[in-house]
Amino acid sequence: MSQEPLPPDRWALAEYQDGEVRFCPVDGRGRPAGPVERAAGPVEAVRSRPGAGRWIWRSTAGPYPRLLDAGLRVQRCYDIEAAEALLLGHEGAHGSPRSLPAARARLRGLPVPADAPSRLPDSAQSALFETGPVPLPPDADPLESLLEVYAAQLTRTELTAHPGRMRLLVAAESAGALVASEMRRAGLPWRADVHRQVLDELLGPRYAGGQEPRRLAELAAQVADAFGERVRPDLPADVVTAFRRAGFAVTSTRAWELRDIDHPAVEPLLEYKKLYRLYTAHGWTWLRTWVRGGRFRPEYVPAGAASGRWTTNGGGALQIPRVLRRSVVADPGWCLVVADADQLEPRVLAAISRDPGLMEAAGSTGDLYTALSGRAFTGDREEAKLALLGAVYGQTHGGGLRHLSQLRRRFPAAVALVDDAARAGEQGRLVRTWLGRTCPPPGGEPGAGETAPEGASPGGSAAGRARGRFTRNFVVQGSAADWALLMLAALRRSLTGMRAELVFFQHDEVIVHCPETESATVAEAIAAAGDTAGDLTFGRTPVRFPFSTAVVKRYCDAA
DNA sequence: CAATTCGGGGGG
DNA sequence: CCCACCCCCCGAATTG
């Protein structure tokens, strides 16, 4: 069946109620290939098998943080619950519970338990209500259940549209889970003193007793002066009313709408909103909550977004405001290698569409948009960029559309790919990324093949068109997320044995914290990881995946 | 009174 | 003029 040589050494590991673990070697079909061993915990088990190639376990977030605490890493893993989510999605059962007990129950035709909520409401945060992983029924043996589900997953994988790609996707998602745990443990270097200095500079000192910062109070007073009445700048309704009274027919208080209004309240108001946002989202409270011992440690959630992009659970790690990048400072003698993938989405589009013209343009490491504008595309770099992004996002009006027909002529296969994806969405069909991650069905979470009730003519309705834009973008953004996982896995591999640590990942950007002496090696490893991931993910194409890389002491000093 | 939605801003 | 796409986070208002 599969011609790939099997990893020499895979081990299944399951935790029991009393904390004990049992583990055994596993063959290529998911059957036990040796005696079951016991250990006091995952640390003891993994330590006893230093040569294990891949650990198969229920969920990386369970045992792996404890392994890291004990100073252990594993080379590779197979995350059953991550795989279950990917397979369910591919099978069109997107929202079905993904836990090991749920997967087992489905195999046996038993009632399927719901998943534990991924994020608890604040009111339930008390230890009393802490919800652990969904429990197996008391009569189920954890290791046997794990192997039963694993074996079935291997079979289901072979039934997917592209089994080889799905195998790769599961491996990549599992590697991502390892990276997420490791990054959280390492933490992003964060100087609380610098952060406080930024807050003091921009917001001024806080008044005693939890009052708002002085600068916010001053700006609020200026707004009130300008209107000649008290207006609370953080209440949109208040502000709209005040502008109406002053003779300006605004419909919202969005920055782009207010920017062009000639009224003395506008400037302090916009400044207030910017600073208010900093104060509430990344102010002193955030600092107290999230920064400990000079490190910011968010909980990353791989595939938290439908497209496969990561999210975080609290801390807003993927929305660090630019003004706070000054606080991300390397340790003495160390540096940050900050690397940003260049024009990732158009390069991904080139690879997944195999469009000859676009592949040729993406076959160089130079700026892709400049390459486009230099060719038979009449327009400058900015216009080329807008046209291409407009095609990927499903732009409906505006300047970028002017060049769309030209794009269509120059890069017919690329445009056809996103157009097909859009049509699929409008017709209520599912689309997949290159590796086979499947978009959620229309009409919300519930999952299992529901048919949109009001979708008689989805192509014609506003909802149908919105769905088309979603699926159009999904195939590109999601395939870029496929690539990013393999890039992380490749980079992680090449950093083993070094002191360098991956400390941040944001869609198309990574930060590695390393001794200054390692920076050149790390930069090379990142460059190599981009192209390696391109070949692994999409097969061999001429498309290159370069990074803009900077070696800096402070995050803000990277381009 | 708690849960949900809205509006506006941040990131890619 | 901006926008299309994916998200997070907060406070206030609204709803059950």
Which of A131-145, A353-367, A459-473 is predicted least confidently?
Answer: A459-473
Q: Which of residues 237-256 of A touch strand C (CB under 7 A)?
A: 237, 256
pLDDT in tens, A157-179: 999 999 999 999 999 999 999 99
pLDDT of residue A453 exceeding 60: no
How far is Cα of residue A129 from the mean position of the Cα atoms in its chain? Answer: 28
Which nucleotide comes closest to A345 if you measure CA to C1'? B12
Which of A213-227, A236-250, A396-410 is predicted least confidently?
Answer: A396-410
Better pLDDT: A319 or A124:
A319
Per-residue DSSP letters for A466-493? Answer: HHHHHHHHHHHHHHHHHHHHHHHHHHHH
Beta-strand runs (E) in A357-500: none
A167/C15 CA-to-C1' distance in Å: 46
Which nucleotide comes closest to A398 if you measure CA to C1'? C3
pLDDT of residue A447 exceeding 50: no
Please tell me whether any atom of strand C lies within 7 Å of the Cβ of A296: no
CA separation for the pair A134, A139 (Å, rounded): 15
pLDDT of residue A454 exceeding 90: no
Please tell me whether any atom of strand B lies within 7 Å of the Cβ of A443: no
Which pLDDT belongs to residue A124? 45
Mean pLDDT for all residues in chain A: 91
Instruction: Give the percent of chain A with pLDDT over 90.
Output: 75
Across A207-216, A233-242, A526-535, which has the greatest mean pLDDT?
A526-535
> Nucleotide B2: nearest residue by CA–C1'?
A123
Which nucleotide comes closest to A316 if you measure CA to C1'? C8
A555/B8 CA-to-C1' distance in Å: 27
- Listed in sequence order, the residues at least 6 apart from A201 whose beta carbon sits closer than 8 Å to its beta carbon are none
pLDDT of residue A445 exceeding 50: no
> Nucleotide B7: nearest residue by CA–C1'?
A236
pLDDT of residue A1 exceeding 70: no
Element containing residue A122 per DSSP (H, E): none
Predicted TM-score of the model (pTM): 0.94
pLDDT of residue A285 exceeding 50: yes
Which pLDDT belongs to residue A451? 42
CA separation for the pair A405, A349 (Å, rounded): 17
How far is Cα of residue A364 from the mean position of the Cα atoms in its chain? Answer: 27
| Mean pLDDT of the region A506-514 | 97
3-state secondary structure A254-300: CHHHHCCCCCCCHHHHHHHHHHHHHHHHHCHHHHHHHEECCEECCEE
pLDDT in tens, A99-136: 999 999 999 999 999 988 766 545 444 444 456 889 99
Please tell me whether any atom of strand B lies within 7 Å of the Cβ of A273: yes
- Grade residue A448 by pLDDT with cuts at 50, 70 and 90: very low
Please tell me whether any atom of strand B lies within 7 Å of the Cβ of A506: yes
CA separation for the pair A325, A339 (Å, rounded): 14
pLDDT of residue A348 exceeding 90: yes
Angle at A518 between CA A517 and CA A520, to 5 degrees: 100
Contact of A11 with A52, CB cutoff 8 Å = yes
A3/C11 CA-to-C1' distance in Å: 57
C-alpha dihedral over A117, A118, A121, A127, to 10 degrees? 90
Please tell me whether any atom of strand B lies within 7 Å of the Cβ of A517: no
> Nucleotide C3: nearest residue by CA–C1'?
A398
pLDDT in tens, A523-541: 999 999 999 999 999 999 9
Q: How far is CA A303 from CA A88, A190, A309, in A?
A: 14, 25, 5
pLDDT in tens, A59-93: 999 999 999 999 999 999 999 999 999 999 999 99
| Mean pLDDT of the region A282-309 | 94
> Nucleotide C9: nearest residue by CA–C1'?
A281
**Nucleotides of strand C lying closer than 7 angstroms to a protein CB:** 1-13
Q: Which of residues 375-414 of A touch strand C (CB under 7 A)?
A: 386, 389-390, 393-400
C-alpha dihedral over A525, A175, A340, A196, to 10 degrees? -110
The count of residues in chain A is 559
Which nucleotide comes closest to A304 if you measure CA to C1'? C7
**Nucleotides of strand B lying closer than 7 angstroms to a protein CB:** 2-4, 7-12
> Nucleotide C8: nearest residue by CA–C1'?
A316
